[in-house]
Amino acid sequence: MVDKIEKNQICALLDEKKGWHVDNNGLYIEKVWEFANFQMAFSFMMRVAFLSENMNHHPEWSNMYNRVFIRLTTHESNGVSLKDINLAQQIDGILGD
């Protein structure tokens, strides 16, 4: 079991400048990326896929050509946990954000 984090804590943990947003109820965090083309977008997704598998924690995500949308939540915690914050930081690390 991984503890849920309250919304004000999520905001404190996330560096807001990096583009992650918390929904109003603090149930998930999400971010959008825009790349030059599909190949770059999908390559980024593969990097995220490796990170997700290594953590055994997977995003809800979508793609439309050069855009990638990632939403993170921890189902067993019914909200956002440190697992999500950790994965978010690793995802940002891919692009050196």
For residue 42, what are the CA distances in angstroms to 73, 90, 91?
Answer: 22, 17, 14
* Residue 76 is a catalytic residue: yes
Q: Which stretch binds a second copy (CB under 8 A): 1-9, 10-18, 25-33, 48-56?
A: 48-56
Task: Give me the catalytic one of 6, 21, 34, 58.
Answer: 58
CB of 71 to a second copy, least distance (A): 9
Q: Does 52 bind a second copy (CB under 8 A)?
A: yes
Secondary structure class of 53 (helix, strand, coil): helix
* Residue 57 is a catalytic residue: yes
Interface pick for a second copy out of 6, 50, 55, 95 (rule CB under 8 A): 50
* Residue 21 is a catalytic residue: no
Selection from 64, 69, 62, 76 nearest residue 29 by Cα = 69
A 10 A CB-CB count for 44 gives 18
Q: Does 36 bind a second copy (CB under 8 A)?
A: no
Residue 57 main-chain phi, psi, to 5 deg: -145, 120
